[in-house]
Structure 1
Amino acid sequence: MNPEIISWLLEGDPSIRWQVQRDLLHASPKKYEAEQKRIAKEGWGARLLALQDPSGTWAGGLYGPKWISTTYTMLTLRLLGLSPNHPQAKRACKIFLDEGYYTDGGINFFSYSWKYSETCVTSMILALLTYFRSPDKRIHDIASYVIGEQMPDGGWNCESRKGATHSSFHTTISALEGLFEYECLFPEKKKIVGKVRARGHEFLLMHRLYKSHRTGKVFDAKMTTMPFPPRWKYDFIRALDYFRSCDAPRDERMSDAIELLKSKQKKDGTWPMNSGMSGLKYFDLEKAGQPSRWNTLRAIRILNWWDKK
């Protein structure tokens, strides 16, 4: 690792610093957890927490308006690494359940127009409830709903109830992230959930993480960019970072994505932010076209994981 790059990363937001200390410098938990606590007090995390409504939501809504609602703000706070026990996050989790838990065991924020839970939303909420350690037992129903929505090809698609027969990259990565967080919180579920996740891994690997399994061509050029935060959308570095986070077996079918990641590194050793945050936003985390601490951090830790023996 380039010491100058590490120093540059450590000049960033607390959400960057604590993950550099944990993932790149392998600091003691005491050290990086102390840095992690600063997320709620300064920088991006503190700014987002300050925007929470008196009612406990953000922008007055659970899922909309995109991209400043409670769901998307909480997803960003999870990626920043806000403490899992933070009271403001726990308050939002309770609202998700009180307002969104549906009769089929999933999450439905749109019951006025949908008669079943939406798989992408349910998966994202599962990730939030488990990361922020909600004590509510309905978490198990929500996890069961996601598991039950897995398709024959191993992935997930929120359009399956409308007739879709092939899984979606977008839905699949949200389902995998949610189930992994669930498995981490409830390790006794590992045997069952691990098998489900392994089938989901195979779906992504069959597509070499971003290609058509029929033609071998890039499925969607947007999947080869590196936005942050990803919101509900899939991209190749999000998939690689997921595989790294759960220390999945390194598979040759990931190699195209690894080479793509390497090709995006600039001469100065950093990775750029390809595209900025579109639509409604509270503020930019980083600017498009500029060196990105987020992407540099993610790229280095992915490559370290890939190269380890």
Structure 2
Amino acid sequence: MVDPALLDWLLDTDPALRWQVERDLAGAPPAVWETTRARVATEGMGARLLARQDPGGTWAGGAYFPADGSAVAGQPWTATTWSLNALREWGLDPAVLAGTAEKLESCRWEYDDLPYWGGEVDACINAFTVANGLWLGRDMDVLAAWFDEHRLADGGWNCFWVDGAVRSSFHSTLNAVGGLLAHERATGGTPATRGARRAGEEYLLVRGLLYRLSTGEPVELERAPDDLAYPLRWRHDVLRATDHFRRAAELDGAAPDPRLADAIALLRARRGPDGRWTQGERDPGEMWFEVDVAPGEPSPWLTLHATRVLSWWDSAA
């Protein structure tokens, strides 16, 4: 049960967040949350981001980076892939973007000028592209098959394989299995893609989402895995990772894997006495507009995602 005061706080938010609270935490009937979800296209953040789309179907004129190449600190988050990720995760009805998939046929990746829907060499980028393409109604089987073909010997992926990396990355592997999960949910997958997803998930699970397999010591990442900040973009952390396994278990009809316990404990420890999670320091980079709160403030988005994960874990226990 979610505290009523906390639930009221979460419901007093943008439609992109509110409909998920209604569905997943408040237990509202479909007629309620589907009505709120439809508002994403016409109100709040969803409508604002839709208004930024270029006539040619892109955002900021580029696939992964803005076309103007403006020098800003950090990764710019305004280009097409990041904008599609946001709209998809916010629950926009893809029918609102009718014609966008076709327009993006002429979009090219900044890497080697490759066609947008064919993907490129980066596992994370290809995972986002699979999920976005399926959401927009495209056949993404060829790009989904890429993951099995490019899986490393230890079971996961590393976006720097093209530069010679032979050990998998927590970040790359989490994003890869996310793209494969989206493919499996939409199409049922193939024996190869289903096997690749499970191998990648096992790579993370055998390491408890946190540890080096060789020593059992905590893995050293650029940021601590319990340092959480919304938007949740590409980094491996205890919230993104446990949320993936929540969604995978839902698809598989499986109970939570006990090897998630340490990551769940870290996530739970980040919850404040009032049941909220605090916004951390985000990766720098240009955004179209603010989508959450400043660092140090209680984050409705983090609280939604984390509460949903803990509700799943605790109900199974």
Do they fold alike, i.e. is TM over 0.5? Answer: yes
Partners of 1:228 and 1:277 within 8 A in 2: no
169-178 or 6-15: which moved more? 169-178
Alignment of 1:1-309 (within 5 A): 1-65=2-66, 66-87=76-97, 90-100=98-108, 109-112=110-113, 117-134=121-138, 137=139, 139-187=140-188, 189=189, 191-215=191-215, 216-220=217-221, 221-247=223-249, 249-276=255-282, 278-286=284-292, 287-309=294-316
* Superposed displacement of residue 77, structure 1: 1.2
Structure 1 pair 55/143, CA: closer, same or farther in 2 (3 Å)? same
Aligned Cα root-mean-square deviation (Å): 2.2
**Amino acid aligned to 1:304:** S
* Distance in 2 separating the partners of 1:191 and 1:165: 24
**Secondary structure of 1:178's partner?**
helix
Partners of 1:155 and 1:167 within 8 A in 2: yes
Partners of 1:44 and 1:285 within 8 A in 2: yes
**Amino acid aligned to 1:197:** R
* Distance in 1 separating the partners of 2:103 and 2:213: 40
150-159 or 244-253: which moved more? 244-253
Count of equivalent residues: 296
**Deviations, residues 161-199 of structure 1 (Å, cap 9, x unaligned):** 322111111211221111111111112x26543322111
* Distance in 1 separating the partners of 2:314 and 2:190: 26
**Identity between Structure 1 and Structure 2 (%):** 36
Partners of 1:40 and 1:46 within 8 A in 2: yes
* Distance in 1 separating the partners of 2:224 and 2:137: 33
Partners of 2:158 and 2:165 within 8 A in 1: yes
Structure 1 pair 96/158, CA: closer, same or farther in 2 (3 Å)? farther
**Secondary structure of 2:64's partner?**
coil
**Secondary structure of 1:272's partner?**
coil
* Superposed displacement of residue 239, structure 1: 0.7
Unaligned 5+ segments in structure 2 are 67-75
* Distance in 2 separating the partners of 1:23 and 1:175: 25
**Secondary structure of 1:246's partner?**
helix
**Amino acid aligned to 1:288:** P
* Distance in 1 separating the partners of 2:160 and 2:196: 19
* Distance in 2 separating the partners of 1:39 and 1:9: 16
* Superposed displacement of residue 200, structure 1: 0.9
* Distance in 2 separating the partners of 1:155 and 1:252: 20
**Secondary structure of 2:107's partner?**
helix
Structure 1 pair 149/174, CA: closer, same or farther in 2 (3 Å)? same
* Distance in 2 separating the partners of 1:182 and 1:263: 33
* Distance in 1 separating the partners of 2:103 and 2:244: 27
* Superposed displacement of residue 93, structure 1: 3.1
* Distance in 2 separating the partners of 1:210 and 1:96: 37
Structure 1 pair 16/50, CA: closer, same or farther in 2 (3 Å)? same
Unaligned 5+ segments in structure 1 are 101-107
* Distance in 1 separating the partners of 2:54 and 2:17: 26
Partners of 2:17 and 2:90 within 8 A in 1: yes
**Deviations, residues 20-47 of structure 1 (Å, cap 9, x unaligned):** 1121123232321111111111111111
* Distance in 1 separating the partners of 2:46 and 2:283: 16
* Distance in 1 separating the partners of 2:197 and 2:255: 13
